[in-house]
Amino acid sequence: MISGAKLANNPETQATDCIYLFAICINLRGKNDRFLHFIQKYVYLCNSLYNYNMVYNEIGKTGMLVSNLSLGASSLGGVFHGIREEEGIRAVHVAVDNGINFIDVSPYYGHLKAETVLGKALKEIPRDKYFLSTKVGRYGKDGVNTWDYSAKRATESVYESMERLNVDYIDLINVHDIEFQAGMEGGLQKICDETLPALVELKRKGVVGHVGITDLQPENLKWVIEHCEEGTVESILNFCHYSLNDTLLADYLGFFEQQGVGVINASPLSMGLLSQRGAPLWHPASRDLKNACAKAAAYCQEKGYPIEKLAIQFSTSLNPRIATTLFSSANPENVLKNINYVNEPLDEQLVSEVQAIIGDQMFVRWKNS
């Protein structure tokens, strides 16, 4: 019990007071040293509840209450197709103006371009209106992909990202696509022994708020959590495994919950497989899976129900243990469209029909590339 705590009679003020008390509790349990930083975000969130229909969930035990639909900024780097920078910046503003408060990016996306464009967009947005997530370990320059999970490079990368993003603090820092380190010297153990400790040290210094890991393969995420000191990994980000064609992530939710690790789902469109446009040329999925998803998309189009709508609704509405689902778009109209999709009821019959069309290609996996 907090001595002297009293709630106002006005419902809106009362809700704001509750947010203040929640932030105090977070501080008391030692989960965050940046007390004012979180208070500001929760007050903003409280006010948002009166303006948006968005649902907000806590990522694990981080204290970060995030919108159940969040913005992935890979599209700002032209990962899926070319973009117009001004339009991409406006897409970020539309997302935040309509209740999205969690944005994820990486220096790898567009080989620094996504962070650079996002940084320009964030210049015009108050820092207390969003939680920011970026990554270390996977990079690229001059069209060449590189990987470096060393402590030194991870630390340098965080400061470089902050400069590009025009911020002095990162809410969530992730080790990016750990499966690549699995095939390098030191294996996944290096993530536990070197990369994560470097990020935890930055957390101790107040440079970052929380530490997570990301990967396409959920078994790798589980392995690292099991081989690290308890509490080191506060969240995981897994992509393409809680979507219409693959719900493998669901098999691991119990484990993550037991460990107190928050779950972020990404790519409800399965990196473009579940879209009218179709998967980009570089997509590593098999031809059979691409064809099956294309047939499903055509079927949805005949029904007058875009498969993108069904995919977004499916990934955000069926599992409360997933804190948020990241989608990516550099188109302001598509951002608003996706937000509206979340507020409409899911056609579960159509889900069954689409999954029947995908048929034996359900749960077919691919290696990251």
Of 145, 168, 147, the C-alpha closest to 77 is: 145
Identify whether 109 is a catalytic site residue: yes
Reading the block at residue 234, the tokens are: 């506060």
Amino acid of residue 59: I
Instruction: State the Cα–Cα distance between residues 305 and 349, nearest whole angstrom.
Output: 12
DSSP 8-state class, residue 209: E
Q: Are 318 and 310 in contact (CB under 8 A)?
A: no
DSSP 8-state class, residue 243: B
Taking the CB of residue 198, how many other CB atoms lie within 10 A of it?
22
Instruction: State the Cα–Cα distance between residues 19 and 42, nearest whole angstrom.
Output: 6
Burial class (CB in 10 A: 0-12, 13-18, 19+), 349: exposed
Give, for 190, the enclosing helix (H) or strand (E).
Answer: helix 189-190
DSSP string, 12-48: HHHHHHHHHHHHHHHHHTTS-S-HHHHHHHHHHHHHH
CA 367 distance to own-chain centroid: 20
Of the candidates 42, 109, 130, 149, the residue annotated as catalytic is 109
Of 297, 300, 294, the C-alpha closest to 349 is: 300
Q: What is the torsional sign of CA 216, 217, 218, 221?
A: negative
Output phi, psi for 149, to 5 deg: -105, 20
Q: Are 69 and 339 in contact (CB under 8 A)?
A: yes
Catalytic residues, by residue number, are 109
